Structures are given as structure tokens and as C-alpha cells.
Amino acid sequence: MKLIHRWLAGEVVNNTVGIKVTGGPFNGRTKIVQLDRDGLPPARLRARGGLGQTTGNPAAWHIYTASPAPDTAAGWVYGYAGADTTGASAEGPTDAHTP
């Protein structure tokens, strides 16, 4: 449990860190991610559900992008980029880092 608390506090442990999420239905939550070899988080993530999810579209996916945030413990935040309207919702979450 102590390890999880360290990640949630923004500390990098075993190349893993908790990054705050801003905006959208996951505003205020923390996403625990594994960093790549260069110490970068996945550039984009997709999430489904969250606060404010409508009953008309319970399976809607939301896109978040990583941005440097030197004023945070982790050095990064995930900002809300909008709902995924590509129709790729059946693919599941995407956590791959893109340069």
C-alpha cells in the first residue's frame, strides 16, 4: 500500500508514477502509468466512464494527452482532449507513447 501512496504522490518508483488528470469526467483523479526508457509517460490515454457519464452513451471513451507540468510532483499532467469520436471505442484503452 505504501508503494501506491508514493505513486499517487507523484514519486517515480520502479519507472512508474501517478499523473494527475485534469478536465473531463476524470478531473482530479490520478492515472498510474509506466514511463518509457526516456522517462516519458504515454503521450495519450483513453478512458471510459467517470463522473458525469451519461446514460445515453455509457460506453463513451475520453481522450487525455500528457503535457509537461513542472509545478507538479510528477512533472506531467493528463489534460482532457475531448470525447473519442473516431468510432474506435471497441479497441479499448490506448496507452502507447507517441513521439
Taking the whole predicted model, whether its pTM rises above 0.85 is answered as: no
SS3 (DSSP) at 89: helix
pLDDT digits (tens, 9 = 90+) for 66-84: 999 999 999 999 999 988 8
Give the bridge partners for 5, in sequence order.
none
| Distance in angstroms (rounded) separating the CA atoms of residues 38 and 8 | 21
Instruction: Report which secondary-structure segment, H or E, holds 4.
Output: helix 2-8
Taking Cα atoms as reference points, which of 41, 70, 47 lies closest to residue 59?
47
pLDDT digits (tens, 9 = 90+) for 8-49: 999 999 999 999 999 988 999 999 999 999 999 999 999 887
SS3 (DSSP) at 97: coil
